[in-house]
Structure 1
Amino acid sequence: MATGLGVDVHPYYQRGASFPGVEYAWIKMTDGAAVYALERDSRVWTADAHARRLREAGIPFGGYCYAQPGDGAVAARVLLAECDRLGGTGVAPAIDIEDNRDIHTWSTREAVDHGRAFCAEVIRAGRRPAVYMNASKMQACRPDEWPEDPVIWVARYGRAPEASGVYRGHYDVHQFREDGQLPGSAGRVDWNQAYTLAHLTASAPGGGTTPNPDPTEDDDMITAPAGTDDHINVIVKGKTSLYLACSWGQKVDVHSILYYGDTGQDLKGTGVGGGYDGGLRTPPEKWTFQPNRPGPVRIPVGAAMATIRYTAAHSFAVGAA
């Protein structure tokens, strides 16, 4: 089952990394309007090695530009050329706008102008852009309200972006930690959680249009009652996406989603791979669904029924489409 977990990597600091369990990735490919190339340790480090490993692993990836003062449209053109050269067209090309006292501190107006110029150029090239900022800068700039409609990739570690009112807008991908690990990596790795498919392009597996965030428009819903470590069974045969929808101010903590296929003539149920079971981990994990993050959860091929184990203080809706 797809979990929406991805990484973003730096060609030097995460050199040597391999990508088990990763579903998508961004690679730093450019600095402003310059292709990334760092001469260190008697060699020049570029995005080529990570791109090759991701291609070989069949993992969709794209590039990001570490924003620097200048023309955002020019930066977009340089990044798009690198994405094309490296085959990084499965994930939306992103502009990373963040303050660095050694490089540049962005005013809100400057960040908005630069980001929108980048986005407009990516759209002119026939693609959808992505914008990365930390939660406080995202709230100041609100790219979720820009007419360019970029994919929103927000960083906040240890807490949801909206916690304590830091960010009040929509987001598609949350960079939730900076101390992750990947085999072979020379340094710690940023982990990202995707709550929509907006970051994936049409060339990526399962990519293309963003799913309807209101599954009631797609198919019938069933209601799950409030409960603690309770469960509900949902028929998912012939469906591709599962949604959990709750009201504003509520949430659903999912401990596991396990899938089963049709029973064969031997009367034995057939398990279907890809289930999520955070309850078996130590310590137990949970997957939280909130009103602005109802899914989708991809349903594995061959699944006929899903068993969802959850904790929720209020009833909520479950739908498959």
Structure 2
Amino acid sequence: MPKLIIDVSQWQGVINWETVKPHIDGAILRMGFGSDQVNQDDAQWERNVSECTRLGIPWGAYIYSYANTPQKAQSEIQHTLRLLKGKKPQLPVYFDAEDVSIRAYCHASFPAWDAAVKAAGYKTGLYSGYYFRRDCMPAVNPDTWWLAWYNGTNGMKKPLTGNWIYDAWQFKSDGSFPGISGRVDTNYFYKDFLGSAPISNPVPVPAASSSPRLDLEIQCLNRGRSGKKVGGGELCMYDDAITGLSIGVTGGWVEYRVHKMGGGWFSRITKCDWGTPDAYAGDLHSMIDGVQIYFHTDPKLTGGKYYRVKYQVKTQHHGWLGEIYDTDFSNGDGNTTAGIFGDPIIGIRAKLV
């Protein structure tokens, strides 16, 4: 079965690796970019290495190349070796070839980098898109090729590779993982680099798994609590105003929150337990007029397929409003809200799609 590997940099901020660990098989960490200057080291490199090492998460590394002259190429080699000194990555160290500025020179800079880093005792590889490799460095022969290819099919459609074989596939740039803020590059690795044995023919095959499930329950102002709607669906208690919301899921994790009518947003919730105040949304006595929900797929549990939550609400004065797919909580206050402020919510529909 392919390994699920993420690649991260300072752009993901301070990662909670203990929270991330159960959801991944390893990580590729950006060490830095360009020439050997301290201000071009990745700001989270040392911490990410330390945390992965402490927690036993297999890790590798990559340097983003800007080398378009022999001098810059040598400086990038020194940059790589300086940041790797004393460290023991279990996964390969990659040369990231994607910047337009290196198109005319990467055919020479990569082999020089590859030989030097390999001579220092590290496994090496090339990261690139198919067209970049085809057009700019068709003659290079890396030990392993990490292919970037997005095709909008949740990573399950075989990418275009020509006659080359890839051992790793970056199929998604907007993955979500607990413990990491924002979107994450997500990859399948088909070679067991710890044992140097191929895992499978490099065509993604979904793991045996069941479809994820969303369970929905509400509390209303006068009629109390509804029964649980297993698998999602519609809940509406005779047009009684909703004062609390509980959502449970399998196959990933969920974030949700509600807006107090005449007030502000309640805290974001990731659990579902009416007996615990921080495990349901709302205060059970105040009417709500806004809902936001986001489902984070765990592809290890869904065979690599990604799901979204589709939801909508019914308000007292406007009826059923339009459908919403996954509120983006990383975008400030969320870019989508179900509801109209000032109009009590009296019904909700939600399911995973």
Q: Shorter-chain TM-score: what band?
A: 0.5 to 0.7
Amino acid paired to 2:102: W
State how far apart, in whole Å, the 2-side matches of 1:195 and 1:131 are.
Answer: 15
1:59 Cα deviation after fit: 0.8
Answer whether contact 1:96 1:132 (CA < 8 A) is retained. Answer: yes
What residue is the counterpart of 1:110 in the other structure?
Answer: 105
Distance 1:118 1:162, change over 3 A: farther
1:133 and 1:154 in contact (8 A); partners too: yes
Partner of 2:176: 181
CA distance in 1 between partners of 2:175 and 2:157 (Å): 22
Query: What residue is the counterpart of 1:151 in the other structure?
Result: 144
CA distance in 1, matches of 2:14, 2:56: 19
Partner of 2:44: 46
Question: What is the CA-CA distance between 1:189 and the residue it aligns to?
Answer: 0.7
Q: How many angstroms does 1:210 deviate by?
A: 3.4
Q: Is the 8 A contact 1:152 1:172 kept in 2?
A: yes
Output one character per residue of 1:106-156: Cα deviation in whole Å (capped at 9) or x when no partner. 32x41211111111111222333111112221233456x635x33100111
**Which residue in the other structure is 1:81 paired with?**
82
What is the root-mean-square deviation of aligned Cα atoms in Å? 3.4
Indicate the percent of aligned positions where both proteins have the same amino acid. Answer: 21
Structure-to-structure mapping, 1:1-321, within 5 angstroms: 3-18=2-17, 19-20=20-21, 21-34=23-36, 37=39, 45-69=43-67, 70=69, 71-85=72-86, 87-99=87-99, 104-107=100-103, 109-141=104-136, 146-147=140-141, 149-157=142-150, 158=152, 165=160, 167-197=162-192, 200=193, 207-211=194-198, 253=205, 255-256=207-208, 278-281=209-212, 285-286=302-303
1:140-195 residue CA offsets vs partner (Å, 9 max, x unmatched):
3456x635x33100111235698574644210100010111222323211111011
Distance 1:179 1:58 in 2: 25
Helix, strand or coil for the counterpart of 1:140?
helix
Describe the shift of the 1:186–1:38 C-alpha distance in structure 2 as closer, same or farther (beyond 3 A).
Answer: farther
Of 72-81 and 3-12, deviating more is 72-81
* Alpha carbons 1:139, 1:166 under 8 Å: kept: no
d(CA) in 2 for partners of 1:254, 1:162? 11
Partner of 1:45, secondary structure, is coil
Task: Give the counterpart letter for 1:26 in structure 2.
Answer: I
Q: Which runs of 5+ in 1 are unaligned?
A: 201-206, 212-240, 246-250, 257-277, 289-321
Q: Given that residues 80 and 93 in structure 1 are in contact (C-alpha distance below 8 angstroms), is that contact kept between their aligned partners in structure 2?
A: no
Given that 1:7 and 1:189 are in contact with CA atoms closer than 8 Å, whether structure 2 keeps it comes out as: yes
State the Cα distance separating 1:209 from its structure 2 match.
3.0
Change in Cα spacing, 1:188 to 1:33, as seen in structure 2 (3 Å) is same
- Classify 1:10/1:287 alpha carbon distance in 2 versus 1 (closer, same or farther; 3 Å): closer
Aligned partners of 2:61, 2:26: CA distance in 1, in Å? 11
Cα separation, 2, equivalents of 1:287 and 1:25: 17
Give the AA of the match of 1:146: V
Aligned equivalents of 2:156, 2:131: Cα separation in 1: 9
Contact kept in structure 2, 1:17 and 1:182, CA below 8 Å: no
Question: 1:55, CA displacement in angstroms?
Answer: 1.3
CA change 1:35–1:29 in 2 (3 A) is farther
Change in Cα spacing, 1:121 to 1:168, as seen in structure 2 (3 Å) is: same
Name the CA distance, whole Å, in 1 between partners of 2:207 and 2:26: 23
Structure 1 window deviating more from structure 2 (55-64 vs 157-166): it is 157-166
Alpha-carbon deviations, 1:85-112, whole Å to 9, x = none? 4x3421111111112xxxx5332x4121
Gaps of 5+ in 2: 214-250, 252-300, 306-353
The answer on whether the counterparts of 1:98 and 1:134 sit within 8 Å (CA) in structure 2 is: yes
| Higher Cα radius of gyration | 2
Aligned length: 211
Give the 3 Å change call, closer, same or farther, for CA 36–192 of structure 1 in structure 2: farther
Q: Distance in 2 between matches of 1:191 and 1:64?
A: 15
Post-superposition CA distance 1:25-51 (Å, at most 9, x none): 111112122356479xxxx93312212
CA gap 1:3/1:11 in 2 versus in 1, 3 angstroms: same
Partner of 1:296: none
- Are the aligned partners of 1:60 and 1:91 in contact in 2 as well (CA < 8 Å)? yes
Q: Is the 8 A contact 1:135 1:166 kept in 2?
A: yes
